[in-house]
Each structure stands twice: as C-alpha cells, then as structure tokens.
Amino acid sequence: MFGRVLFILFLTTAQCTLPKDQEYWKKLAREEFEGSLSLQINNNIAKNVILFVGDGMGINTVTATRIYKGGASHRLAFEKFPFTGLLKTYSANKMVPDSASSGTALFSGVKVNQETVGVDATVERGDCAASLKPAARLDSLAAQFLKAGRRAGLVTTTRVTHATPSGLYAHSAYRKWECEATMPQDAAECKDIARQLVEDWPGRDLHVILGGGRQVFETNSTNTKEDPYDTWSCRRRDNRNLTEVYIQDKEKRNLKYSYVKNTGELKEIDHQNTDYLLGIFANGHLKYEDERNTGDEGMPSLTDMVEAAIKVLSSDQNGYYLMVEGGNIDMAHHRGWAKRALNEAAEMENAVQLALRVTDPKNTLIIVTSDHGHTLSINGYPLRDSDITGIAQKSPYDGKNYTTLSYGTGGPDAMQYHVVSDGNGTKIVRDEPSILVATRFDYKQPAGIILDENSHGGGDVAIYATGPHAHLFTGVHEQHYVYHAVCCAAHVGDTAGVCSGAHAHTNTLILYTIILAFIVVQMFL
C-alpha cells in the first residue's frame, strides 16, 4: 500500500513539472518545421543498404517504445530520419500476414502465400513439388547484391533459419521445414531450409550469417541449462553437421572465414582477414536482452552483431546489403510480454544508432521498418510521461486499475476475468493488476480474445529511411514495393537503371530551365 502511494505521488509530482507553457510547444514545432525546411534529396546511388526489420514492430509498438525510452515528446533515432511512409502488410491470401510471407514480400518484391518462403503465390503451403519449379522461385535483395559483385549478409536475434531471415536465401513451401525432422515423406525431394542456407546459392555465399539455430544445424547439439533446446523448433536428426559443411565449403574454396559461438569470439575476429562470418549463438532464438548473459561467454546483443557485420561487409569497396532483424520483439509480443517487446525494440534502436555512426550517409541507405504489427493497444487515459508499462488509471466501471498496454488477442494465461459465485448468484470479476507486477518484464498484459498465443495485427507499418534515394519511401505503399525501391536506389536487379534514368531526366529539366531563364533575361536586357 505504501509503495502504491509513493508511486502515485511520484506521478503527480512529475506531472506538475512537465512543461506546459505556450513557448515550449511553439519551440518544439519550430524545431520540427526547420528540420522539414532543411530536407535535401540525396540522388546518389546507394553503395550500401542496411534494412532493419523490427519483427512485429507495429506503429503502437514504436509509439510505446518512444515513451518507454524518453517520454511522449521523445523521438527515436529512426523517427528523426528525413523520410517516412506506410506499408500495407497483407499477404497474397491473408488479410493479416505471417513473417514468412511478409519477409518474402519485403526482400523479393512479390506478395506470396502465408507461411511460404521465397516462392511466388503459385505455391500453396506444403506443396513441395510446386516450390521446385524454377519459375516459382524468387530472387531476394541479397541475391541481387551478390549478382552485382557486392556483399550481402543477415543478422537476427531469432534462428537464422526462421521465417524472416530465410526469405533472403531459401525457397520453401513451408516455413517450418527448417530441418528435415519436420518434413513429411511427400516432401523428400525438397531440401530443408538449413541445408539451403549452407549448401545452395545464395545462402552459401552470404558473407555474414549471425543469429541462433544450432539445433537445426547440428544433429548432436547439446542441451544445457544456459542454452536449452528450443521446443518450438525442430531438431536435426539426420547425422548432418551443417556447421562443418559450412567450414569445409569455405576451406575448399580457399575463402577467408570465421566461425564464432559467443560474444567473446565475435569481438576477437580479425575483420581484415574475414570475408565470411558465421556466428551461431544458441540452440534456438537468442535470449531476450533483459535475460542475456552480457559476459564474453554469453550471447551477443543485436548491436554487437550489427557492428561485427558492418566491419566484415565494409572491408570490400564494392558495397553491401545487410538485413538486420529485431526478431525478439515479435517473440515477446507473442508471449504477451509487452515490456519485454519494448525493451527489444529499444535495443534495435541502439543498433540503428550504431549503424548511423559507422556508415557514410552519402552512400549508405538505412531503412527501418517492420514485417507486420501486433494487436498491442495503448489505452486511455494515463498521465503524460507516466510509465508506459504500468497502470493507466482506475476504471469508472469497476473501480479497479487497468494497464496502459493491453492486447486484442492473447494466450490462455492472459485471461484476467473469472466467474465468482456468492449469495446473489454468479458474476464476472476482473483481476486488478498490481503496479509492481505490471512493470515486470515477464508480466503478461490482459487480452480481449483468448487464442493459443498473441496473434499478429493487420495494420499498416511505418517505414523510415535516410541516405541515397530515401525519398522513395514516402507515402503509402504495398510492402513488396520496398524490394523494387531498394533495387532502384542501389542500382541492382530489374529496376537498376530506373533511378539513374530519373536523374538524367531531372538534370535535363534543370538544364532546360536554366537555358530558358537565360533567354528570358536576355529579352529584357
């Protein structure tokens, strides 16, 4: 009780000290206005492209992360990017997408069916034979960069064979075919996703692969307390060790490579003598940032991995493409852990800040977006700059506290209502969240509809861009537009010449305008 009183007093005091005068708001607007007036279009070819994908990072997640990190008036690093837009996320056959279909759309420029990877919509989920047809297979941005003689890589906090990263290199009729153990007999002609990564092009030629998924790679991966088996994923059982296959391939081709298993080894690699970097840090997904062992023997942060990836990729002067996935944003949302999801999104912002510091804005296009949203809601009417993960206020209906954050859908343990009986019959009673409990990383926010777990949301997601041709990412677009715009900006793939042609047209118009102005001036002299 005493703690609750202190908490309310703190909120009241904080609220009284918040600036509310006219000049504060006018100054805030002037700063934004001046920033808009100073915008400049960068028409350079994007030598490098870094595409950050906050998995499950819908607009409400971005808003809540902003407040979580700095308050309502705060701006995240990518919210300061000069160009922003919206993406429509539906898949070829579903209003609300999964990460396989939405990731494939982002990376390959075509809307595809739910739970399929790297194949067009002629392939239904589970149809192995259809996925083998060359005409159905899609080239990703990573493939386009490799074709152009540039480098490509991926960084993720999930398994490297998971739905989003697999869209860069795999062609599979089912996202769950990460290893052979989950594949049916009628799919015997199809390779599992892990084998495609290390045996087939473009996977085997990716210069950076960092994330989790050891049990998918190695038949005899160990199960420990610090790194237990991932029960949500398959475990390889065919006696293959794909890590060894990766190493043997690089040695056979006399390529300079490094294979690392923890943070310490990642920090110690010789970037100047590493053209190919493989880092597998967990049996399944990497640990959440709040649970991670930050020592050298632990798993690296997303920022750690991005730093290493950029060092390896930028050692080649031709340029590179890097996909960075903040995958644990989505994982936390699925479990109903809103605060943990915000913390993961905050860590992705740290990685974005790192990328901004170590790259040249003149030649590096940095994009931040999401593959889909979640059903996260920000509820009325909490005090401004109160704890976004805490209590909004008391309900005027039942007089009990309710949380600022909640979900439209959730797992069975998100149910916060129960039926009670008394002398007057039965009634439905809502559990009241505790202030101290609600702000924990493992607190499960209440949900309106109970499913097996929290589901994705179907709302548009934001896209933020800075660097060469960042202005292509303004307005409302289909999600698969991103692939085509990146190809244009980087001068690769089908739209390689479009942006340079646009420059020529623009330059011609400028030249004609100058000549016309000169003629008009001469007429009046």
Answer yes or no: is 442 a known binding residue.
no
Which of the following is catalytic: 91, 99, 301, 406?
Answer: 99
Answer yes or no: is 171 a known binding residue.
no
Say whether 99 is catalytic.
yes
103 contacts 54 by C-beta, under 8 angstroms? no
Answer yes or no: is 164 a known binding residue.
yes
Q: State how far the alpha carbon of 152 is from the alpha carbons of 7, 48, 147, 450, 511, in Å.
A: 49, 10, 10, 41, 38
If we measure between CA atoms, which residue out of 162, 172, 159, 161 comes closest to residue 131? 172
> What are the φ and ψ backbone dihedral angles of 140, each rounded to 5 degrees?
-95, 175
Answer yes or no: is 477 a known binding residue.
no
Answer yes or no: is 334 a known binding residue.
yes
Q: State how far the alpha carbon of 157 is from the alpha carbons of 61, 326, 421, in Å.
A: 18, 6, 47
Answer yes or no: is 330 a known binding residue.
yes
Kindly state the tokens that stand for 179: 């290893």
Which residues, including other chains, have CB under 8 Å from residue 184's CB and lie 6 or more apart? 126
If we measure between CA atoms, which residue out of 339, 266, 338 comes closest to residue 302? 266
Sign of the torsion formed by the C-alpha atoms of 237, 240, 241 and 243: negative
Answer yes or no: is 456 a known binding residue.
yes
Answer yes or no: is 55 a known binding residue.
yes
Alpha carbons within 13 angstroms on the beta-carbon side of residue 96 total: 10
Answer yes or no: is 372 a known binding residue.
yes
- Helix (H) / strand (E) containing 464: strand 461-466
482 contacts 463 by C-beta, under 8 angstroms? yes
Residues forming the annotated binding site? 55, 162, 164, 325, 330, 334, 371-372, 456
Residues forming the annotated binding site for Zn(2+)? 55, 330, 334, 371-372, 456
Residues forming the annotated binding site for Mg(2+)? 55, 162, 164, 325
Catalytic site positions: 99
